[in-house]
Amino acid sequence: MKDIIVKLVSNETGLKVGEVERLVEIPPKDEMGDFAFPCFVLSKKLKKNPMLIAEELAEKLRKDLKKTDISNVDFKGAYVNFFVDKKILAERVLKDGGKIVKGKGKTRLVEYSQPNTHKAFHVGHIRGTSLGESLARIFRASGEKVVQMNYSGDTGMHIAKWIWCYKKYHAKEKLSDDESWIAGIYVDAVKRLAKNEKLQEEVDEINQKIEDKSDKEISDLWKKTRAASIKSWDRIYSELGAHFDVGLFEGEFEADARDKALDLLDKKIAKKDDAVFMDLKKYNLGVWVLLRRDGTVLYSAKDIVLALKKFKEFKSDNYLVTVGNEQKMHFEQLVKTLELMGLKKEAASYGVLPFGMVRFPEGKMSSRTGNNVLYSDFLKNVKDVASGRLKDRGENPGKKLDEKALKIAIASIKYSMLKQDPKKNIIFDPNAAVAFEGDTGPYLLYSYARASSIVRKVKSKKKVKILDLKSEEIKLLKKIDSFGDVVAKAYDSLAPNLIANYCYELAQMFNEFYHACPVLGSVEEGFRLALVKKFRDVLKSGLDLLGIEVVEEM
């Protein structure tokens, strides 16, 4: 209903629609009104007391109110306050509340998740994966054509370390696709190398051999262990509800990356001392090394070739990469390099969304030292708690309970990752992570399930008649009404957390409504049922944008 007020104010004041839209807000207290227009901007323009302006503007607006759905206009201080006709609000919300504004149908490529083979998939990866998936869904819902891409590290020094350590110290152990075993070998490698720096030479040698594929034994071992890691991801992604249209691997780009680096050197875009590098000091971006002194390829060079492939094969209006904070500079260096290569337009469309780390209350998580929480262990933990709760509620053990527990656990995990500002670090408290009360994923699912339960129990259809509305109904209606605005804002600022916060507030308002307004058997049953259904739809689409699945019963 905001649009009506925006139009009115814009007409009366001569301010642009867009500007008014930004200014119109929701008053802190319901008694003050449903929408408010602050007059400070006008005060500056007209050089007049804002309170006076508010009074006069309210007076003027009141005159042509009859033709609108606004029931009253008032002023308080420097604010013009609008009261909408609640019955009309209700009608409008029931009719088309929860709609998302579709844009111009731009195309977008989103790269996210980027796990490494031979390393742990830990809770930090859950954040990046949830974030990327949610963004892709928000883009698509807002009318974009989206390609979701995963890009995994299956070569590089960490793999060489793994293979070196396995061959030298663990060769008797059977190859396994158990994540913690795989992660454990890597941790052991890091430990041994830290003790004796000289051993790194042996690792370098293996790195060479992986790259030039000259040693069949090493190549075979690489293939097998790589496959084991990748296999473990299938299950993780299906559980997390992450979907990829394209999956690329670093290994595919090794040869091209070296050629490209040498080509840049040829063209004098890159420089060489003992290594081949981009000198970006004058852009305050330091030095970006492309090839090691032994000629092997670094991920910088591979990322250049990856970008070129994106431009060529997935021609898009925008290319977004979500990566951990620590890689921010790397991508700034990449974009600058693309620019220096003459790809100005493409460079400008290459977006980077850096996100914060997941840390323990005591400090950093690290897959190098093994001081982290593996996805699989974490999920099992949360799922066990969910199962326990379901059993407490009298549900029989079995496949159905198991599936539900999984959904609840995933909702809990994903919501906790998405509700926070992406750029901030998340403090991961294992105790808080298995709590299901308050601002949590399960609370949202529970609210949805309650609504579903009402809908299930309806016996006969009653007419939707809007009588006097209680404050809890009005609050819920208004919240539903603002869904489109929230999604638009989340889209603009690449911030799924806004949608997460909205879903929580929406659920809160539903629960307040639930306690204050009986549905079944009430005089208002027809209307209230329609409201419950609308709430359900909107919460479901909000959660869908977060990549969280609902459950009908809990």
Partner RNA sequence: GGCCCCGUAACUCAGUCUGGAUAGAGUGCUAGCCUUCUAAGCUAGAAGUCGCAGGUUCAAAUCCUGCCGGGGCCGCCA
Within positions 439 to 458, which residues make up the interface with RNA, using CB under 7 A?
439-440, 442-443, 446, 449-450, 452-454, 457
Q: Rule CB under 7 A: which of 216-255 touch RNA?
A: 250
Q: How far is the CB of 412 from RNA (least distance, A)?
A: 8
Side chain identity at residue 179, one-letter code: E
Interaction between residue 471 and RNA (CB under 7 A)? no
Interaction between residue 19 and RNA (CB under 7 A)? no
For RNA, the binding residue among 8, 9, 13, 33 (CB under 7 A) is 33
C-alpha separations of 327 from 275, 279, 413 in Å:
21, 18, 24
Site string for RNA, 155-174 (x = CB under 7 A): -xxx----------------
Per the CB < 8 A criterion, the answer to whether 169 and 203 are in contact is: no
Interaction between residue 408 and RNA (CB under 7 A)? yes
Distance, CA of 133 to CA of 112 (rounded, Å)? 8
Interaction between residue 124 and RNA (CB under 7 A)? no
DSSP 480-527: HHTHHHHHHHHHHTT-HHHHHHHHHHHHHHHHHHHHH---TTSTTHHH
Burial label, 468 (beta-carbon count in 10 A; 0-12, 13-18, 19+)? exposed
Per the CB < 8 A criterion, the answer to whether 84 and 109 are in contact is: no
Interaction between residue 63 and RNA (CB under 7 A)? no
**Window contacting RNA (CB under 7 A); options: 2-10, 128-136, 308-316, 388-396:** 388-396
Interaction between residue 16 and RNA (CB under 7 A)? no
Per the CB < 8 A criterion, the answer to whether 359 and 106 are in contact is: no
Q: CB nearer to RNA: give 514 or 535.
A: 514
Q: CB nearer to RNA: give 39 or 109.
A: 39
The dihedral of CA 451, 454, 460, 462: what is its sign?
negative
Per the CB < 8 A criterion, the answer to whether 16 and 10 are in contact is: yes
Burial label, 423 (beta-carbon count in 10 A; 0-12, 13-18, 19+)? middle
Q: Rule CB under 7 A: which of 189-208 touch RNA?
A: none
For RNA, the binding residue among 97, 128, 153, 496 (CB under 7 A) is 153
Q: Rule CB under 7 A: which of 267-326 touch RNA?
A: 273-275, 277, 284, 286-287, 289, 291-293, 298-300, 324-326
Distance, CA of 494 to CA of 319 (rounded, Å)? 13
Q: How far is the CB of 118 from RNA (least distance, A)?
A: 11
Closest CA to 360 of 352, 351, 350, 370: 370
For RNA, the binding residue among 184, 247, 356, 526 (CB under 7 A) is 356
Q: How far is the CB of 181 from RNA (least distance, A)?
A: 21
Interaction between residue 66 and RNA (CB under 7 A)? no
Q: Rule CB under 7 A: which of 323-342 touch RNA?
A: 324-330
Q: How far is the CB of 400 from RNA (least distance, A)?
A: 13
For RNA, the binding residue among 46, 101, 194, 427 (CB under 7 A) is 427
Q: CB nearer to RNA: give 348 or 427.
A: 427
Strand 287-291 with 276-279, pairing: antiparallel
**Window contacting RNA (CB under 7 A); options: 85-93, 166-174, 313-321, 361-369:** 361-369
Distance, CA of 516 to CA of 531 (rounded, Å)? 14
Interaction between residue 32 and RNA (CB under 7 A)? yes
Burial label, 163 (beta-carbon count in 10 A; 0-12, 13-18, 19+)? buried
Q: Rule CB under 7 A: which of 479-538 touch RNA?
A: 489, 492-493, 497-498, 501, 504, 508, 511-512, 514-515, 517-520
Q: CB nearer to RNA: give 172 or 284.
A: 284
Q: CB nearer to RNA: give 345 or 397.
A: 397
Distance, CA of 266 to CA of 260 (rounded, Å)? 10
* 3-state secondary structure labels for all residues of 118-179: CCCCEHHHHHHHHHHHHHHHHHHHCCCEEEEEEEEECCCHHHHHHHHHHHHHCCCCCCCCCH
